[in-house]
Chains A and B, each alone.
Chain A
Amino acid sequence: MVAYGAQRSPAWLVLEDGRVIEGVSFGAKGEQIGRLVFNTACVGYQQMLTDPDSLGQIVVQAFPCIGNYGVNGEDFESPGATVHGLLVREWCEAPSNFRMSGDIGGFMKEQGIVGMCGIDTRALVRAIRDGGEQRCLLTTERPADLAAAVAKIKGENITDGITKTTCDKMESIATENDGPRLAVLDLGCKRSFLDSLRAAGFALTVCPAGTKAQALAGLEAEGVVLSSGPEFGVEPGAYAKQLEEIYKLGLPILAVGLGHVLLGAALGGKVGALTHGHRGANIPVTDLRSGRTVITSQNHGLILESVGAGEVSHRNLSDGSCEGVRYPNAMSVAFIPAYERGHMNTGDIFRAYRTMVKKEEK
């Protein structure tokens, strides 16, 4: 970001509480309203910008250099951008990586993501940490009237994010070695999670979020997966009946991310919200059974404060919150596991689920 003086154009962030922060615009021009959150990961911005989980968020990146490796055609978590805005200290205008096809500024322009740089991101992170994830307005047009801007924020039209990010129709994906078939309820599923399931040896039928238990039953699947998805505009109770019925089908269930919260709500648990979400790649989760702690990637603000019929299986080591639940025929985790052959990260979740599925087979 060496452009200075007249070459830059400004952008503004208006917070719900009336504070205004001015910075430099990059990416697309325009105006967006969203929920202000911070993320502490130092890599992974392209995934984050296209992750359905990020829908409705205006994200502050704690790491000061964003965009170093550009963007490429492979790291999309969904076909298009989901974030409503990106705030960074500096974006990289001369990135370098063998896979890259462009830089982040160009990408955001294409995707219509409004960005702001040249700000003290750490100060903003502290504000969010202490004050919570407010809603805000990010704009490249000087807000003439602060009160009006705040009113706009408060009047934001929030619709259920799941309906915006789920697929339109069912789609079957085979696996190479004829593994068990799972029905995946697409609550805003990210591509990499589907990749993990396939790598773990499952064949998949991806179903729209509204698919009822009866329809799922007809698929002759050996298990059901409740994917992650956006928390934006989602009323956990709204999915309780549908998920309860799916649970009653008796098929082993794996729920991750948002799926974990919705399943919990459906099975008698109580949903709560963190002051500021777990959003980063360094979050320690302890498996209570084995006693081992692994580092996970997360992007959620909702948690299960109590788990009804289930038993807490994983806890966040830093704040003690529930990160996983075991039910008689289901397992859920708040983080997004990634399949790997080794045991050092979260691959074991898939192996545990596979065992559950196999048991049912018998």
Chain B
Amino acid sequence: MPLRDDIKKVLVIGSGPIVIGQAAEFDYAGTQACRALKSEGLQVVLCNSNPATIMTDKAMADKIYIEPLNLEVIKRIIEIEKPDSVLSNLGGQTGLTLSMQLAKEGFLAKHGMKLLGSKPETIDKAEDRQIFKDTMEKIGQPCIPSKVVNTVEDALAFAEEIGYPVIIRPAFTMGGSGGGIAENVDELHEIALNGLRLSPITQVLVEKCISGWKEIEFEVIRDRKGNAITVCSMENIDPVGVHTGDSIVVAPALSLSPREFGMLRTAALEIVEELDVEGGCNCQFALHPDSMEYAVIEVNPRVSRSSALASKATGYPIAKVAAKIAIGYTLDEIVNAVTGTTYACFEPAIDYVVLKFPKWPFDKFVYAKRRLGTQMKATGEVMSIGSSFEQAIMKAVRSIELGMDTLKLKKLREKSDDEIVQQLHECDDERIFVVYEALGRGISFDTIFDITKIDRLFLGKLKNLSDMEKALQSEPLTDALYLDAKRLGFLDSTIERLSSQKVAHPRRAVYKMVDTCAAEFKAQTPYFYSTFDEQNEAAEFIENHKTGKKKILVFGSGPIRIGQGIEFDYCSVHCVWALKEQGCEAVIINNNPETVSTDFDTADRLYFDPLTPEDVDAILEVERPDGVVVQFGGQTAIKLAKYLDQKGVNIIGTGYDSIDAAEDRERFDELLAACGIPRPAGHTVFTEGEALTAAQDLGYPVLMRPSYVLGGQNMIIAHNDKDIVEYMAVITAHNSLENPVLIDKYLMGTEVEVDAICDGKDFLIPGIMEHIERAGVHSGDSISVYPAQNLSEKTRQTIIDYTGKLALALNVRGLVNVQYVVYQDEVYVIEVNPRSSRTVPYISKVTGVPMVDIATRIMLGQSLLEQGYGKGLYKEAEYVAVKVPVFSFEKLHDLDTHLGPEMKSTGEVLGIAHSLEEALYKGLAAAGYNMKRTGGVLITVRDTDKQEVIPIAAKFDGMGFDIYATEGTAHELNRHMVAASVVRKIEEGEPNIMTLFDEGKIDYVISTSAKGRKPARHSVQMRRKAVERSVACFTSLDTANAMANSLKKRHSLGDIELVDICSI
């Protein structure tokens, strides 16, 4: 049936900023949806607060509002734009909850709007724990013994009945937020209390904990006719008890016989039938390892992280099909674009094995609890495709960028067998490596299975890898052994390392196509993965699709992590689009299943593979590109530059030499001296002794960091010798000291950031950004304002001048990012990155200067001036844009929330308005601050801040807030006529700070510490408490000040100006 003609203009609600649990997968889904809708001739109105997304690009929608994702704002947008429908199920939990609220309040009905995607009844049946139970019971689908409760008392009572351990699942939260496993009464009390508070409907499910059962998922898609198919089955290597986002997952499920497989598949289909799903749905089951007993864990009737994985794993575009279903198509009408001759109503057949491996932030956050449970902690993931499980997991391990090329974790070598067995009990991010070590030691499958419940099938396969490592170490490297090792996923460099023998006849990888049908139908999907065979389908494809165009290879940015997120994917994708527009053939290599770059529709060819030199070599050999691009894939792509340069590969754009000049301290210093540009004094050190000498020479405080890092990884401010000693230990734990540690004098000035585009002759600066937080807080964690507000004309000119000098001296062809600190009227350079940066997406959107596009054309030979945007500083936009960072602190336990030089935010939002105050207000609101104008403020700051905090406290006081402070701070405040009540510190006995939190008296916290980091410290504990109670906590006086200013202006979401960025 043709699509409904009563739908002409659709409102799509996005998922907002990247947080742990709701991330890039929704940009991918949202982008597919917008494209699908527009291809049907519909008008699309988009609302998403996250400027780093591809979906908020002018090409994607007709009207784009980068505004707070808030009910009031959405209603206003609806009133302005008058769409006739809203698409609910492609914006994660955020989009879903907002759509449901609009529906339930009758707002949609009142405005004659249709709800597309998921119906409220469907959502309730899945998300409301009680209705879910009842629904499952009705259709005879077994659930785990559980009870829905609204009070802690009821939770405790039920737990008594069914016995511990129990799991708490709060209703309508995301990524398992607020949930957890309770082993006893005390734990249950704490988790239930928190869960009830976080659930928008004060509801949690208390459920018997069946950890250890197999965890199997099915991605299903269904249309309004009732046609339903399962797109993909997935099996979590980590059994029930670990959130699917934190599990290693294999697709398809490998350990199920047809009986279990059929049983669960049918169950999934029956569930979506009963829920009347129209679109995609994820069904999770627990299956007893030794019987046919199973239970439904949860059902998510929307596009999700799993559906992104399933789409990339099978080649079946779930979000696109779901969008078409939402506007009225049925599965048997939607053509399968991959084969061109079949329809979306068929189940993909896979002839390879897919593995998903999560990326955790624990290499950055050394003090955070690493234990994995029901609350997701991973920031991102990689996917790998192989001809065997072993090959797939080996590829995944090198894609995840932990510096490992096999599953052998070096630090486990020293442990005894008993210690290894003990450590198997620790369910954390390193467990799979502990399992591998145990297998290598000959510890029995039974022992390992009893403790971890990881299926023996996988243990067997991991053992194959371990056995191969041993064989390589002890046997002569025959051709047969070598080929087997290649097929198991070993790199040549690994084989040589283990065997201490040279590989006589290196074998090149060949490529197979992902075609949704296991070769049953002829397909022309340009989507490939590597394996070791004779037949090379990529070579065939290239041969059959000769275009004569210039061919450029673009490297992606790997898994999403703090410091390297979706912004880099935005740049990669825009580069590919620009290349295609300029008449080139664009090829992309990446291993992140959540992103738009790995949608095979994006580039002319996609290679889903690890980004190591050997993997890249094989692709270069089959593609023989005319050039490669490394400046849009963050540090992941830059790391390849040296290797590519040595091989003589043509890097278009800024070359390796420039990259090295920027990163190598000595060379960089020389460059600065030659340009006459000052930098904070600094030294390069390799040992603790050298570090202490350097610090004393510079004078405290000093900034310490390893070189060649991203996101300020392991970057710290040291205030004394003790700090140096502590921090050197931390840094050297994670980095081999081939790259030294940099120690610089810390200048406490204003931070300014500039992105520039250069063609080797001229340069263009779309805009200068100023950070609200002074130097010392990583730029990614700072609130960034464009245009810069507080710079003198002299400073501005100096910055423009320095930027130009640097860009030209470094021979930049493309993008460059420079960070400055303005201290006592002097401008100093902090760092220069000759590549795209985090700020490129938002600055491009707000200034209207398509930075990646311009840079790409420069890389292809066009000059800057030819492109018509002029040079020097671009004219200021009429709008002010404020980028506010977003954190996922509630997910990472024991992590100190104190901001510093090491980046901690996972995402960002944008506030855009004609005035700074309004833009700031919108940004803060979009970031999730509730912007309360009354209540209590708790202030406890370090000595060095006690004077500066006074005027800020005065502002809050003036607005009528109750001010609480610890003794030292209170004393100063009161002395300066700001009324503050003294409150006891944690160590001073009750009632104290914590009591105030528990009594709900605190709405904002201003807390700065000289120390911090370690979970035991009271200041850290207090900040963690603020996270738990969802109380805004400012760890920089500058942020607190900005908030105070914003609150004073008395803006509200009802009267702020709404901006359609398509009109900029």
Q: How far is the CB of A299 from chain B (nearest CB, A)?
A: 13
Contacting pair A64 B388 (CB below 8 A): yes
**Is A210 among interface residues, defined by CB-CB distance under 8 A?**
no
Chain B residues within an 8 Å CB radius of A94:
456-457, 460-461, 463
Chain B residues within an 8 Å CB radius of A62:
349, 351, 518-520
Q: How far is the CB of B456 from chain A (nearest CB, A)?
A: 4
A62 and B351 CA atoms in complex are apart in Å by: 5
Stretch at the interface among A49-57, A165-173, A286-294: A286-294
A297-316 with Cβ < 8 A to chain B: none
**Is B331 among interface residues, defined by CB-CB distance under 8 A?**
yes
Chain A residues within an 8 Å CB radius of B720:
none
Contacting pair A292 B522 (CB below 8 A): no
**Is A97 among interface residues, defined by CB-CB distance under 8 A?**
yes
A74-108 contact mask (Cβ, 8 Å, vs B): 1 or 0: 01000000000000011011111111100000000
B255 interface neighbour in A44, A69, A123, A280, Cβ under 8 Å:
A69
Chain A residues within an 8 Å CB radius of B289:
98
Contacting pair B229 A295 (CB below 8 A): yes
Contacting pair A125 B351 (CB below 8 A): yes
- Nearest to B464 among chain A residues (CB) is A2
B267-280 contact mask (Cβ, 8 Å, vs A): 1 or 0: 00110010000000
A114-149 with Cβ < 8 A to chain B: 120-123, 125-126, 129-130
A247-292 with Cβ < 8 A to chain B: 276, 280-284, 286, 291-292
- Nearest to A120 among chain B residues (CB) is B533
Chain B residues within an 8 Å CB radius of A75:
257-259
A317 interface neighbour in B259, B345, B455, B518, Cβ under 8 Å:
B345
Chain B residues within an 8 Å CB radius of A126:
519, 535
**Is B517 among interface residues, defined by CB-CB distance under 8 A?**
yes
Contacting pair B351 A344 (CB below 8 A): no
Q: How many A-B residue pairs have CB under 8 A?
A: 163
A340 and B176 CA atoms in complex are apart in Å by: 34
Q: How far is the CB of B302 from chain A (nearest CB, A)?
A: 20
**Is B40 among interface residues, defined by CB-CB distance under 8 A?**
no
Contacting pair A282 B349 (CB below 8 A): yes
**Is A9 among interface residues, defined by CB-CB distance under 8 A?**
no
B387 interface neighbour in A43, A89, A92, A95, Cβ under 8 Å:
A89
**Is B929 among interface residues, defined by CB-CB distance under 8 A?**
no
Count of chain A residues with Cβ under 8 Å from any Cβ of B? 57
B327-369 contact mask (Cβ, 8 Å, vs A): 1 or 0: 0000110000000011101111111110000000000000000
Contacting pair B348 A121 (CB below 8 A): no
A312-339 contact mask (Cβ, 8 Å, vs B): 1 or 0: 0000011100000000000000000000
**Is B266 among interface residues, defined by CB-CB distance under 8 A?**
yes
**Is A47 among interface residues, defined by CB-CB distance under 8 A?**
yes
A122 and B536 CA atoms in complex are apart in Å by: 11
Chain B residues within an 8 Å CB radius of A68:
254-255, 457
Count of chain B residues with Cβ under 8 Å from any Cβ of A? 61
A344 and B228 CA atoms in complex are apart in Å by: 8
**Is A42 among interface residues, defined by CB-CB distance under 8 A?**
yes
Given A64-B388, A344-B273: A42 touches B457 (CB 8 Å cut-off):
no
**Is A352 among interface residues, defined by CB-CB distance under 8 A?**
no
Chain A residues within an 8 Å CB radius of B522:
129-130
Contacting pair B331 A293 (CB below 8 A): yes
Contacting pair B457 A125 (CB below 8 A): no
A63 and B352 CA atoms in complex are apart in Å by: 6
Given A64-B353, A340-B266: A69 touches B520 (CB 8 Å cut-off):
no
A96 and B256 CA atoms in complex are apart in Å by: 9
Given A2-B464, A344-B270: A43 touches B258 (CB 8 Å cut-off):
yes
**Is A73 among interface residues, defined by CB-CB distance under 8 A?**
no
**Is A72 among interface residues, defined by CB-CB distance under 8 A?**
yes
Q: How far is the CB of A69 from chain B (nearest CB, A)?
A: 4
**Is B467 among interface residues, defined by CB-CB distance under 8 A?**
yes
Contacting pair A40 B517 (CB below 8 A): yes
26 A-B residue pairs with Cβ-Cβ distance under 8 Å, sorted by A, are A4-B481, A5-B480, A40-B517, A42-B349, A43-B261, A62-B520, A65-B388, A69-B255, A89-B387, A97-B255, A97-B256, A98-B290, A99-B259, A120-B535, A123-B535, A276-B520, A280-B349, A282-B349, A292-B226, A293-B345, A317-B332, A317-B345, A319-B341, A342-B266, A342-B270, A344-B228
Given contacts A43-B258, A43-B261, A294-B227, 20 further A-B pairs with CB under 8 A are A2-B467, A2-B488, A5-B481, A41-B349, A43-B256, A68-B254, A69-B256, A94-B463, A96-B456, A122-B519, A125-B519, A282-B346, A284-B332, A292-B225, A293-B331, A317-B346, A318-B346, A342-B269, A344-B273, A345-B266
Chain B residues with CB under 8 Å of chain A are 225-229, 252, 254-259, 261, 266, 269-270, 273, 289-291, 331-332, 341-343, 345-353, 387-389, 455-457, 460-461, 463-464, 467-468, 478, 480-481, 484, 488, 512, 517-522, 533-535
